Amino acid sequence: MEVENGANGEDSSPSHKMKEYNSDTAQVNGINGYSDKKSHKSEHKDKHRDKDRERDKEKSKSKEHKSSKDKDRHSSSSKDKDRDKERHSSHKSSSRDKERSDKDKHRDKDKHRDEKKSSKDKEKEHKSSHDKDHKSSSKDKERKDKDKHSSSKDKDKDRHSSSKDKHRDKDKHHSSSKDKDRKDKNKERKSEKESEKSYDDEREKKSKNHSKHENDVGREDSAREDSVDEDDNKLIIKEEPESQDEVDDKNASAASSCDYNLSQFKSDESRFEDSTADVKQEEDSDEDLPLSARMEHTSVKRKIESDDEDDMPLNARKKPKKEKKEKSEKKKKKRSVEDDEEEWDRPVKKEKIKKEKDSIKTENESPKKGGRKKKEEEPQEVWKWWEEEKKDDGKKWKFLEHKGPVFAPPYEPLPDHVKFYYDGKEMKLTPEAEEVASFYSKMLDHDYTTKEVFNNNFFKDWRKVMSESERKVIKDLKKCNFKSMHAYYMDLAEKNRNRTKEEKQALKEKNEALIKEYGFCNIDGHKEKIGNFKIEPPGLFRGRGEHPKMGMLKRRVEAEDIIINCSQDSKIPEPPPGHKWKEVRHDDNVTWLASWTENVQNQVKYIMLNPSSKLKGEKDWQKYETARRLHKCIDKIREEYKDDWKSKEMRIRQRAVALYFIDKLALRAGNEKDEDQADTVGCCSLRVEHISLHKEKDGKEYVVVFDFLGKDSIRYYNEVPVEKRVFKNLQLFMEHKSPGDDLFDRLNTAIMNKHLNELMEGLTAKVFRTYNASWTLQQQLDKLTNADDSVAEKILAYNRANRAVAILCNHQRSVPKGHEKSMEKLKEKIDAKKEAIKDAERQVKDAAKDAKHGSVKEKTVYDKKKKMLQRLKEQLTKLEIQETDRDENKTIALGTSKLNYLDPRISVAWCKKYGVPIEKIYNKTQRDKFRWAIDMAGPDYVF
DNA sequence: CATCGGACTTGCTGTCAGAATT
DNA sequence: AATTCTGACAGCAAGTCCGATG
């Protein structure tokens, strides 16, 4: 597994993710799977009411501010611990108690807040500004340092540290202040836009003066361009011829810094060669000039500029979207109140379990023991839709018939002996309130019942469903005692686990019957599996990361909420008795069978088909085809964005740099997010605080360190050496911005995707992820597979290739519980096996002697022994492979990339080529999903 | 064109059944 | 048979992208 490409010493970067599949290095740059979840964001609605005041304040103390912000910037990395804790919380009941008490401390506050909702926002403002000034400083620093130094090993320890609580609330406040910072800053920026504007405008003017239009900055004009650049920003600007050495150097670095992984190195090199040549010509030489000097220079320039609406930061152009939002907020609220109070508990549910076709089924089922593997050997013949001609009329189906969704089972009230106590006194709750209480009581073990936000949200929503009299009494969550309920549910769960075989069998049959009836639909004459035909049961919402809505009540969904979609001429599904559907429609432009709007986030949820279905499969296939098309023009696109790094237009430069990240690092696009969601970012929404620039780091030049929370609040940490020009551009983008400002202030996903679509039809940011993932897999497979390895070794190679992709895409998982332990066990096993082999070897020797002059019988004994030894040895290697594999996989999740990013045909082809059974790579569901690929890809398929 | 919401994909985690082990 | 371990999967949250809308 050699990774390094030593020659140019450039990209030996452990920081480069792709390399890390390399077992032992996996931790090097901290990608090591300890992603942390948390958000910097918190509830800040209505903030701008106070905006002006705030702004003034801020201005007056801009200095202090700055320092506290600096700290903030690092806070994200400091939160690992929290996440880890979160993850492991369930095993730490001991520390939990402690936490609880902490929590209690905060409850008073909460209550307070709750009761004066109207003044809540203000209060928060205050609070956060206080926090900003007082709290965040010392603690954050502390944590920051800690984090900085915590290696992966340390982190293991950290996660068990008990200082968590102290920090939790801090974090929150802290994050809220930060958030505010960010927003306010943006506002400030808005007000500053004139100067911004003029900055760009001047540039524009200049370029016009030079009789050059923005878009056609040709190389021929480099002289002119240079001078232009020089005027408007020296970073990119003055280009001086370089010595040959430098040129060479750059070539090397350009190539290597773009390499996705070792095996790709070569191809990358060639990919980037051409453009590098250009770069070198124009490479700036002004690096020696101190930044500040350059800044001055530029800022002077800016003043002279004129106007140009076009090149203005996006947020300056944005219209206030607040009002609308507020409105919809209100609507939401109103609605949910109504719902909660009026239609809260209608008995739902039908649980018809039809057994019509059971006869057929039972035959398959009797040898059930065989489990999934044996049963359902492709029941009906497969619909080979991929062999049919497809038409592109946007119609998703011609005929669609199904039986509607299955509703969550109704609430079962508590038996009489299970009590709820308020303030020490027993209290019988109305069923509505009791149900919601039950949600909470079931979660008592969970860490999030220690979170302030969670508890507040829960309590608020809970009170909404209480009766008038209950509401009068129950005013403090602290005084609620759910213990009895909790015990009851634990007990119930325990009992369920201990169900007898018969009971289990019965349940299973029941379930299968349900699937049989509701789990399939008829689409264009074919029977296809539905993905999720069960409606989500009510419960408490648990967002990921530091979600402001965690703990809110997720209402029970009724037929009255559901829109049914099916063919007009189909048998329309029956609503449960006494109910009716919200609507029945016949929309063949969409693929869903039913939908409803969920009350917490106000989003539409759908019932759709299983991934094995044609509808999904075709889309999937198409996705990979798009990625392959990208492969054909990727060189051109790369060249182009490299050119754009030199563009005179800020927006184009930003776009080009962002695209570079998307391409090279497989970052997500990064849409803007609402404030009532956890604060996570992607490429276009990166903020200044999320990257730091190092002219030199660990022996590498121009290193950009990314540290932010991405989707699902998974931490992305990566140290990436970039090309100098990118580095300079980033410096430019970051000038005069505070940590909370957008890094790419003239860019958003819409702009990016629009541009991409112009480059290639159907191209969007996420295609790069697919493309680079699949491409990497193919490269890695080529590189890592030896035709004469054993199957186990080949599989290891596959997993490693897969892992390289997972690392690229930053697919992480929490370290499985008891990973340590299971590793130890494995080791023991290996040792035992080694012993056995030694023993067997001795025996073989003995037998060999006997066999020499022995009879036939002794010879067979010898043969037998030899075979045994052979087998043992195989087992040993297998175990050893398992060991490395598992260890390397500790924090890396392979599933997501396998399922969503890797062209299955690559894997299929690989299996066919090297004689690896497909089942070793894909389990049953995966094989179902990728049936099309398994069928169509031959051993020679290349991506 | 900004914004919103709908539709669909992507992604992590907890649970549970079946396999492995004792 | 009991217990532990593990992979598969359900579940559902959270992204991306697009087109309608004003």
* DSSP letter string, A444-488: TTSGGGG-HHHHHHHHHHHHHHS-HHHHHH---GGGEE-HHHHHH
Q: In this predicted model, what pLDDT tens digit does every residue of A400-437 receive, in sequence order? A: 999 999 999 999 999 999 999 999 999 999 999 999 99
Give kind and range of the element (H or E) at residue A865: helix A856-888
Output the pLDDT for position A733: 93
The distance (Å) linking the CA of A32 with the C1' of C6 is: 23
- What does the pLDDT average to over A509-538? 91
The distance (Å) linking the CA of A589 with the C1' of C19 is: 13
Looking at this protein, which amino acid is placed at residue A802?
Answer: N
The phi, psi pair for A859, rounded to 5°, reads -65, -45
Beta-sheet strand order (sheet of A420-422): A425-427, A420-422, A480-481
The distance (Å) linking the CA of A537 with the C1' of C12 is: 11
Output the pLDDT for position A387: 81
Among A748, A761, A737, residue whose Cα is nearest residue A681 = A748
Nucleotide nearest to A88 (CA to C1'): B13
Asked if A373 CB < 7 A from strand B, the reply is yes
**CA–CA separation, A432 vs A442, rounded Å?**
16
| A930 pLDDT more than 80 | yes
Please tell me what DSSP assigns to residue A44: -
> Which of A96-100, A649-653, A864-868 has the weakest average pLDDT?
A96-100
The distance (Å) linking the CA of A562 with the C1' of B15 is: 28
- Most confident of the following: A2-6, A82-86, A308-312, A477-481: A477-481
Asked if A187 CB < 7 A from strand B, the reply is no
Ramachandran assignment for A30, one of left (phi > 0), alpha (psi -120 to 50 degrees), beta (any other): left
Distances (CA, A) of A289 to A94, A184, A284, A317, A462: 57, 32, 11, 34, 62
Residue A433 and residue A465 in contact, taking contact as beta carbons nearer than 8 Å: yes
Output the pLDDT for position A522: 93
| Range A420-497: architecture per CATH | Orthogonal Bundle (1.10)
The distance (Å) linking the CA of A551 with the C1' of C12 is: 15
The distance (Å) linking the CA of A781 with the C1' of B17 is: 33
Going by pLDDT thresholds of 50, 70 and 90, the confidence category of residue A683 is very high
Whole-number percent of chain A with pLDDT over 70: 59
**CA–CA separation, A659 vs A641, rounded Å?**
7
Q: In this predicted model, what pLDDT tens digit does every residue of A213-265 receive, in sequence order? A: 333 333 333 333 333 343 334 333 333 333 443 433 333 333 333 333 333 33
Nucleotide nearest to A498 (CA to C1'): C2
Going by pLDDT thresholds of 50, 70 and 90, the confidence category of residue A369 is very low
| A64 pLDDT more than 80 | no
Output the pLDDT for position A294: 38
Q: In this predicted model, what pLDDT tens digit does every residue of A269-291 receive, in sequence order? A: 333 333 333 333 344 433 333 33
The distance (Å) linking the CA of A750 with the C1' of B4 is: 14
Nucleotide nearest to A713 (CA to C1'): C14
Pairing type for strands A563-565 and A594-597 reads antiparallel
Sequence-ordered alpha helix ranges (H) in A375-451: 431-442
E strands in A664-709: 691-697, 700-709
**Nucleotide B21: nearest residue by CA–C1'?**
A825
The three-state secondary structure class of A262 is helix
**Nucleotide C4: nearest residue by CA–C1'?**
A822
Looking at per-residue pLDDT, the higher value among A368 and A538 belongs to: A538
**Nucleotide B16: nearest residue by CA–C1'?**
A497
Residue A82 and residue A38 in contact, taking contact as beta carbons nearer than 8 Å: yes
Residue whose pair of structure tokens reads 């924090």 in the numeric block = A891
Q: How far is CA A768 from the centre of its chain?
A: 16
Please tell me what DSSP assigns to residue A597: E
- What does the pLDDT average to over A169-197? 41
- What does the pLDDT average to over A718-727? 95
The distance (Å) linking the CA of A833 with the C1' of C1 is: 27
Chain A 506-535 residues in 7 Å CB range of strand B: 507-508
Asked if A370 CB < 7 A from strand B, the reply is yes
Nucleotide nearest to A671 (CA to C1'): C16
Nucleotide nearest to A314 (CA to C1'): B2
Q: Which tokens hold the place of A567? A: 């063919």
The distance (Å) linking the CA of A174 with the C1' of C15 is: 26
**Nucleotide B18: nearest residue by CA–C1'?**
A371
Asked if A900 CB < 7 A from strand B, the reply is yes
Nucleotide nearest to A598 (CA to C1'): C12
Output the pLDDT for position A395: 87
Nucleotide nearest to A895 (CA to C1'): B11
**Nucleotide B9: nearest residue by CA–C1'?**
A900
Please tell me what DSSP assigns to residue A299: H
Nucleotide nearest to A592 (CA to C1'): B7
- Residue A101: count other Cβ atoms within 10 Å of its Cβ: 11
Looking at per-residue pLDDT, the higher value among A66 and A881 belongs to: A881
Chain A 444-503 residues in 7 Å CB range of strand B: 493, 496-497
Residue A555 and residue A339 in contact, taking contact as beta carbons nearer than 8 Å: yes
Looking at per-residue pLDDT, the higher value among A791 and A97 belongs to: A791
Asked if A819 CB < 7 A from strand B, the reply is no
Ramachandran assignment for A666, one of left (phi > 0), alpha (psi -120 to 50 degrees), beta (any other): left
| A863 pLDDT more than 90 | no
Nucleotide nearest to A372 (CA to C1'): B18
Any idea which fold A325-344+346-366+395-409+501-607 has?
A: DNA Topoisomerase I; domain 2 (2.170.11)
Location of each CATH 2.170.11.10 domain in chain A: 325-344+346-366+395-409+501-607
Output the pLDDT for position A314: 63
Going by pLDDT thresholds of 50, 70 and 90, the confidence category of residue A315 is low
The distance (Å) linking the CA of A318 with the C1' of B1 is: 10
| Range A771-936: architecture per CATH | Orthogonal Bundle (1.10)
**CA–CA separation, A826 vs A770, rounded Å?**
35
Return positions of chain C under 7 A from a protein CB.
Answer: 5-18
- Residue A375: count other Cβ atoms within 10 Å of its Cβ: 15
Return positions of chain B under 7 A from a protein CB.
Answer: 1-14, 16-19
Output the pLDDT for position A493: 84
> Which of A156-165, A470-479, A930-939 has the weakest average pLDDT?
A156-165
The distance (Å) linking the CA of A394 with the C1' of C6 is: 43
- Residue A330: count other Cβ atoms within 10 Å of its Cβ: 10
Asked if A610 CB < 7 A from strand B, the reply is no
The distance (Å) linking the CA of A775 with the C1' of B1 is: 36
Asked if A317 CB < 7 A from strand B, the reply is yes
Query: Which residues are paired to A707 by β-bridges?
Result: A717
Location of each CATH 1.10.10.41 domain in chain A: 420-497
| A173 pLDDT more than 90 | no
The distance (Å) linking the CA of A530 with the C1' of C13 is: 20
**Nucleotide C17: nearest residue by CA–C1'?**
A764
Average pLDDT value for chain A: 69
The distance (Å) linking the CA of A813 with the C1' of B12 is: 7
Close Cβ partners of A695 (under 8 Å, ≥ 6 residues apart): A701, A702, A703, A727
- What does the pLDDT average to over A326-350? 34
Output the pLDDT for position A858: 82
Looking at per-residue pLDDT, the higher value among A817 and A214 belongs to: A817
Residue A439 and residue A82 in contact, taking contact as beta carbons nearer than 8 Å: no
- What does the pLDDT average to over A637-661? 93
E strands in A96-147: none
**Nucleotide C12: nearest residue by CA–C1'?**
A536
**Nucleotide B3: nearest residue by CA–C1'?**
A321
Close Cβ partners of A852 (under 8 Å, ≥ 6 residues apart): none
Among A858, A832, A833, A856, residue whose Cα is nearest residue A846 = A858
**Nucleotide B6: nearest residue by CA–C1'?**
A604
- What does the pLDDT average to over A604-624? 94
| A106 pLDDT more than 80 | no
Chain A 696-725 residues in 7 Å CB range of strand B: 711-712, 714
Active-site residue flag, A448: no
Of these residues, A440, A771, A862, A901, which one is catalytic?
Answer: A901
Chain A 339-368 residues in 7 Å CB range of strand B: 368
Chain A 203-262 residues in 7 Å CB range of strand B: none
Looking at per-residue pLDDT, the higher value among A789 and A48 belongs to: A789
Residue A489 and residue A442 in contact, taking contact as beta carbons nearer than 8 Å: yes
The three-state secondary structure class of A817 is coil
Residue whose pair of structure tokens reads 């200044």 in the numeric block = A688
Nucleotide nearest to A819 (CA to C1'): C5
Q: In this predicted model, what pLDDT tens digit does every residue of A439-492 receive, in sequence order? A: 999 998 888 888 999 999 999 999 999 999 999 999 999 999 999 999 998 888
Location of each CATH 1.10.132.10 domain in chain A: 771-936
Nucleotide nearest to A505 (CA to C1'): B17
**Nucleotide B10: nearest residue by CA–C1'?**
A900
